[in-house]
């Protein structure tokens, strides 16, 4: 580790590694600091992605694809199962290997990666971020950089230390628990989603197959609704009822920032990417692909700022993010607010209406239409959604 770099990336997840990879590819001198001792561990993720999203960054490979997904099944509170037609294919990943590969790709471009290095602050001069302070091998070291990229996840503090408010509201934080379970009978090509108060109020429960009778089984509860009963309790009850013979290979907690995308993801000397920038799809809670898309943008812009020695160019990342995915995430966030109002009875009647349709018409689009029709009070909300 040197004492100065062009770009310092805080966090070695998919967003951080992708930012590092593209910044290094464009010629910047890059350091990645990861607080954990190993890239990719622990896995705090349901691990599902779609094929189209992933191929821009890495070719799907057996070593990190645990299962290929062809179907979705949505389970209503009363047990009605809806199987919307989905096009294309998805994957349930082995994130440990996947994250390793993404970090390796960054290293191949020349990025230096250091693990077990905990960033505990940023240094600033005249409102401009100029580096980080890091706890490493028992010492506290100050490192300088032209740009810091905060890819430090849901627990991000880099932005807040620098003056960007990235606190997640209780309404938007999803409090999650997941087990990777063995000895479970699951459909190898199907992701199940369970909705309703008994499974996960203000969120959903998922069963994602990982091959060889194993699966990620988890759920997320809106933090403002988990006061009386926490995510782990919900999960333990579900496991006891549905998979009493399962063996738990890993049990993890997590937080998903299903918030509105941040207005500003940069300030002089600083960029935020991934969960740290609330770049999660607020409806699905998925953040791997959007984090990598943002990482690529941020990495390229960071290298350009360095090359041209012009800090004003950093705003290009803001603009590119807002123009591409940011605008979509604003819309998703409004949809989420509508969905949030559904009660179990609404979900049951939507599922009942869907299951009466011919199979070819059962798509996610008609599902949303049914949702609006079955809940007329929501029409105004949805109108607002498309006209605001």
Partner 1 sequence: MIKIHEDKCDLCGCCVGVCPENCIDLTESRISIEHELCTDCRKCEWACPFEVFEFKNQKATLKVPA
To partner 1, the closest distance from the beta carbon of 184 in angstroms equals 21
Alpha-helical (H) ranges within the chain are 14-25, 51-54, 95-108, 158-162, 231-242, 288-308, 315-321, 327-339, 344-356, 364-373, 377-387
Q: How far apart are CA 43 and CA 257, in angstroms?
A: 16
Report yes or no: 251 and 239 within 8 Å, Cβ to Cβ: no
> Where is 224: in which H helix or E strand?
none
Rule CB under 8 A: choose which of 125, 167, 212, 345 binds partner 1.
Answer: 167
Give the interface segment with partner 1, choosing from 15-23, 57-65, 224-232, 300-308 (CB under 8 A): 224-232
Nearer to partner 1, 115 or 363 (CB): 115
Helix axis angle for 14-25 and 288-308, nearest 10°, is 30
Rule CB under 8 A: choose which of 7, 54, 176, 378 binds partner 1.
Answer: 176
Rule CB under 8 A: choose which of 123, 145, 226, 348 binds partner 1.
Answer: 226
Nearer to partner 1, 226 or 362 (CB): 226
Rule CB under 8 A: choose which of 142, 170, 327, 383 binds partner 1.
Answer: 170
To partner 1, the closest distance from the beta carbon of 260 in angstroms equals 14
Q: How far apart are CA 312 and CA 227, in angstroms?
A: 44
* 168 contacts partner 1 (rule: CB under 8 A): yes
* Contact flags string 95-124 toward partner 1, x per CB under 8 A: ---------------------x-x-x----
Nearer to partner 1, 44 or 336 (CB): 44
Q: What is the CA radius of gyration of the chain?
A: 21
Report yes or no: 30 and 113 within 8 Å, Cβ to Cβ: no
> Where is 111: in which H helix or E strand?
none
C-alpha to C-alpha distances, 330 to 280, 310, 324, nearest whole angstrom: 11, 30, 11
Give the interface segment with partner 1, choosing from 6-14, 86-94, 173-181, 331-339 (CB under 8 A): 173-181
* Contact flags string 118-157 toward partner 1, x per CB under 8 A: x-x--------------x-----------------xxxxx
Q: How far apart are CA 302 and CA 263, in angstroms?
A: 19
To partner 1, the closest distance from the beta carbon of 42 in angstroms equals 8
* 253 contacts partner 1 (rule: CB under 8 A): yes
* 237 contacts partner 1 (rule: CB under 8 A): no
Q: In what order do the strands lie in the sheet with 247-257?
A: 81-82, 71-75, 190-194, 204-211, 214-222, 173-182, 247-257
Contact residues for partner 1, defined by CB under 8 A: 35-37, 42, 44, 116, 118, 120, 135, 153-157, 160-161, 167-170, 173, 175-177, 221, 223-224, 226-227, 230-233, 251-255, 257
């Amino acid at each position: 580790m040197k004492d100065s770099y062009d770009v310092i990336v805080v966090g070695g997840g998919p967003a951080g590694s992708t930012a590092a990879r593209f910044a290094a590819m464009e010629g910047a001198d890059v350091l990645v600091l990861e607080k954990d001792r190993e890239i990719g561990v622990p896995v705090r993720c349901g691990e599902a992605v779609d094929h189209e999203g992933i191929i821009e960054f890495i070719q799907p490979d057996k070593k990190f694809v645990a299962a290929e997904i062809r179907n979705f099944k949505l389970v209503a509170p009363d047990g009605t199962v809806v199987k919307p037609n989905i096009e294309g294919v998805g994957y349930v990943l082995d994130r440990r290997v996947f994250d390793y590969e993404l970090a390796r790709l960054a290293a191949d471009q020349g990025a230096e990666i250091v693990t077990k290095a905990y960033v505990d602050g940023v240094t600033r001069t005249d409102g401009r971020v100029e580096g980080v302070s890091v706890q490493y091998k028992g010492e506290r070291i100050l490192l300088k950089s032209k740009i810091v990229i905060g890819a430090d996840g849901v627990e991000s503090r880099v932005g807040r230390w620098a003056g960007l408010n990235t606190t997640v509201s209780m309404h938007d934080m999803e409090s999650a628990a997941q087990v990777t379970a063995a000895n479970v009978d699951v459909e190898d090509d199907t992701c199940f989603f369970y909705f309703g108060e008994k499974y996960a109020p203000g969120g959903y429960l998922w069963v994602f197959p990982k091959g060889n009778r194993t699966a990620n089984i988890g759920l997320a509860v809106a933090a403002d609704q988990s006061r009386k009963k926490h995510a782990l309790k919900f999960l333990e009850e579900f496991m006891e009822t549905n998979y009493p013979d399962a063996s738990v290979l890993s049990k993890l907690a997590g937080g998903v920032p299903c918030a509105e995308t941040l207005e500003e993801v940069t300030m002089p000397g600083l960029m935020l990417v991934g969960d740290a920038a609330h770049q999660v799809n607020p409806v699905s809670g998925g953040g791997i692909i959007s984090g990598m898309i943002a990482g690529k943008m941020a990495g390229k812009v960071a290298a350009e700022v360095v090359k041209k020695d012009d800090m004003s160019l950093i705003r290009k990342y803001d603009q590119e993010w807002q123009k591409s995915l940011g605008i979509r995430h604003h819309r998703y966030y409004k949809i989420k607010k509508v969905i949030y109002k559904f009660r179990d009875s609404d979900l049951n009647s939507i599922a009942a209406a869907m299951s009466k349709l011919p199979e070819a018409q059962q798509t996610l689009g008609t599902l949303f239409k049914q949702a609006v029709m079955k809940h007329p009070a929501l029409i105004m909300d949805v109108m607002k959604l498309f006209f605001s």
